[in-house]
Chains A and B, each alone.
Chain A
Amino acid sequence: MTYYHQELLRIKNHCYGNERQLRAVIKTRHFIDHNYDQAINLDLLSGTNHTSKYHLLRLFKRYYGQTPLQYLTGKRLIRARYLLKQGRTVTETCFEVGFESLASFSLLFRNRFGVNPAKFKKEQFSISMGSGVC
């Protein structure tokens, strides 16, 4: 067994001994993955796990390094980028991935990708036209 393998097993025993907690956060992430386009909030997530919302918030952050809301937003934004590349309008994309406000969608998209959704879509169009010419 390599040094790295030994260290993995040591860390696993030290940090990941609570199977019940792990199952709860993994279940929460899967729920978000399959329902990111729905109206998800902490109350809903904690209800599906029969646990307190603040406890779930702490656990999710501890195991995934971000809050459920941060994870949900990231998931929606990655999907939004894909849909814009596929040619969807900004408005269609915004609501299809679960955001309720165009303004907040635009702001979050810009913070994440450095460009607002309309400009991103325009750039994708230019790229596809450019590759078509060549």
Chain B
Amino acid sequence: MKIKIVSIPVQNQEKALKFYTEVLGFVKKVDIPVSGENRWLTVVSREEPDGPEILLEPAPIHFEPAQAYQQALFDAGIPCRQFSVDDLEEEYERLQALGVEFSVKPTEMGTVKIAVLNDTCGNHIQLVQML
């Protein structure tokens, strides 16, 4: 059994694709029309093109409990997913310059440094650097 895909619920797939590729720097891997405007849409890390894929899933649009759950997490500032970075301060500066909002600025937590950003699609995302 392998971990190939992890999903992130998004409220608008096109907007999410733009944010996750143009701002965060991921690369589109799979884009297949499913039904209506829905797509099977995944992105991968530029550094790990064969690594796990992130599925930008439009669940909150179609399933009310998914929307409620996403909203509750967002309101509490709880990250939906987290990504690893080599240099958090550098990434923080880069993303801030692109207009990304952070609810938690780079903060040391024991042997890691973390920050939390708003993905503009209904989620908080945590960035982590191992110290």
Q: Is there an interface contact between B109 and A22, defined as CB atoms closer than 8 Å?
A: no
Q: Is there an interface contact between A2 and B110, defined as CB atoms closer than 8 Å?
A: no
Find A2's partner among B77, B109, B111, B130 (CB 8 Å cutoff). B77
Interface residues of A in 99-132 (CB under 8 A from B): none
Q: How far is the CB of B130 from the nearest CB of chain A, in Å?
A: 8
Find A26's partner among B104, B111, B114, B124 (CB 8 Å cutoff). B111
Q: Is there an interface contact between B110 and A63, defined as CB atoms closer than 8 Å?
A: yes
Q: Is there an interface contact between B107 and A2, defined as CB atoms closer than 8 Å?
A: no
Q: How far is the CB of A9 from the nearest CB of chain B, in Å?
A: 8
Q: Is there an interface contact between A3 and B110, defined as CB atoms closer than 8 Å?
A: no
Mark contacts of B95-131 with chain A using CB atoms, 8 A cut-off: 1 yes-contact digit, 0 otherwise: 0000000011001111100101000000010000011
Interface residues of A in 11-40 (CB under 8 A from B): 11-12, 15-16, 22, 25-26, 29
Query: Does A64 lie at the interface of the complex (its beta carbon under 8 Å from any beta carbon of B)?
Result: yes
Docked Cα-Cα span, A8 to B107, in Å, equals 9
Q: Is there an interface contact between A16 and B79, defined as CB atoms closer than 8 Å?
A: no
How many A residues face the partner with a CB closer than 8 A?
15
Query: Does B23 lie at the interface of the complex (its beta carbon under 8 Å from any beta carbon of A)?
Result: no
Docked Cα-Cα span, A3 to B76, in Å, equals 5
Give the number of residue pairs across the A-B interface with Cβ within 8 Å. 44
Query: Does A5 lie at the interface of the complex (its beta carbon under 8 Å from any beta carbon of B)?
Result: yes
Docked Cα-Cα span, A45 to B130, in Å, equals 19
Interface residues of A in 75-106 (CB under 8 A from B): none
Q: How far is the CB of B77 from the nearest CB of chain A, in Å?
A: 2
Find A12's partner among B78, B103, B109, B130 (CB 8 Å cutoff). B109
Q: How far is the CB of B13 from the nearest CB of chain A, in Å?
A: 26
| A contact set with B: CB distance below 8 Å | 2-5, 8, 11-12, 15-16, 22, 25-26, 29, 63-64
Given contacts A22-B111, A26-B131, A63-B111, 19 further A-B contacts (CB under 8 A): A2-B78, A3-B77, A3-B78, A4-B77, A4-B79, A4-B124, A5-B77, A5-B103, A8-B104, A8-B114, A12-B107, A12-B109, A12-B110, A15-B110, A22-B110, A25-B111, A26-B111, A29-B130, A64-B111
CB<8 Å pairs between A and B, sample of 29: A2-B76, A2-B77, A2-B78, A2-B103, A2-B104, A3-B76, A3-B77, A3-B78, A4-B77, A4-B78, A4-B79, A4-B116, A4-B124, A5-B77, A5-B103, A5-B104, A5-B116, A8-B104, A8-B107, A11-B109, A12-B108, A12-B110, A15-B110, A22-B111, A25-B111, A26-B131, A29-B111, A29-B130, A63-B110
